[in-house]
Amino acid sequence: MTTTTTTRENGSLYTHIENNIATIEFGHPASNSLPRELLQRLANEFNSLSKNNDVAIIILKSESERAFCAGASFDELIAIETLEQGKEFFSGFANVLNAMRCCSKLIIGRVQGKTVGGGVGLVAACDYVFATENASIKLSELSIGIGPFVIAPAVTRKINISGLAELTLDATSWKNAYWAKEKGLYARVFESIDDLDKEVEIFTEKLSSYNYEALSEMKKTLWIGTEHWQELLLKNAEISGKLVLSEATKKALSKFKK
């Protein structure tokens, strides 16, 4: 169990490989939020592990015992001044989701705490997710004048359109971990982080003992019908990039900054 938190401005990313299981751990001092550099490093890491023959399974986790992920870097969001900058910023999430989708290895999410915005997309792109009772989720994008357009396909794939509508339109409310489990975002929910980590270890050790080729083929099967995401997510990044420049969004972001 990790209790430390990075102080690095652009966040941290570490990968540990043991017994054919790769554990990716990311962190950021602002509740494990995701600046562009960290998003790029995540995408690169999934692409690299996809080709690593010594890896059967990937675990995705974040630092500390509190928030799993606060979503997009707020500081970078408010600094966007042009459409190109906006598209580039949101493309960071598109690239990570596509890297997770195309990764030949099954990705197991380990979610220990609250998750917001783009972090929910990260969870949705995992193939199987374990969480604690504290792992509430929220999509607050509409409340600041944008929308979760880049991550929407990944979230919808897990919780359907009705779940996306409930989560997105009620933009200021948290949905608890059991709501997320009922909708299909989480596979299992535990009372404590200790219980969570024990089950993640047992589950991934068992999976890693299976035929690697079968695991890879199962990954492909789970993602059938998403081949168009390479273009779709980048197109949606442009929508978000345009909206973040609107006067209404600038005013909303200014209030949040204050």
Residue 19 gets the label, from left (phi > 0), alpha (psi -120 to 50) or beta, of left
Q: How far is CA 53 from CA 4, 57, 216, in A?
A: 31, 11, 11
**Do the Cβ atoms of 103 and 216 come closer than 8 Å?**
no
Q: Which domain holds residue 55?
A: 12-209
Residues 95-112, mean pLDDT to the nearest whole number:
98
Confidence of residue 255 (pLDDT cuts 50, 70, 90): confident
In a domain, residue 244? The reply is: no
pLDDT one-digit tens code per residue, 196-245: 999 999 999 999 999 999 999 999 999 999 999 999 999 999 999 999 99
Q: Is the pLDDT of residue 9 over 90?
A: no
Q: Which residue has the higher pLDDT, 201 or 252?
A: 201
Share of the chain above pLDDT 90, in %: 90
For residues 247, 145, 117 and 13, what is the CA-based torsion angle, rounded to 10 degrees? -10
**Do the Cβ atoms of 138 and 177 come closer than 8 Å?**
no
The torsion angles phi and psi of 61, rounded to 5 degrees, stand at -140, 170
Query: What is the total count of domains within the chain?
Result: 1
Predicted pLDDT at 6: 59
CA–CA dist 235, 158 (Å, integer): 21
Residue 11 gets the label, from left (phi > 0), alpha (psi -120 to 50) or beta, of left
Query: What's at 163, amino acid-wise?
Result: G
Nearest-Å Rg of the Cα atoms of the chain is: 17
In a domain, residue 251? The reply is: no
In a domain, residue 228? The reply is: no
Neighbours of 202 (CB within 10 A): 10
CA–CA dist 193, 68 (Å, integer): 12
In a domain, residue 230? The reply is: no
CATH of the domain at 187: 3.90.226.10
In a domain, residue 7? The reply is: no
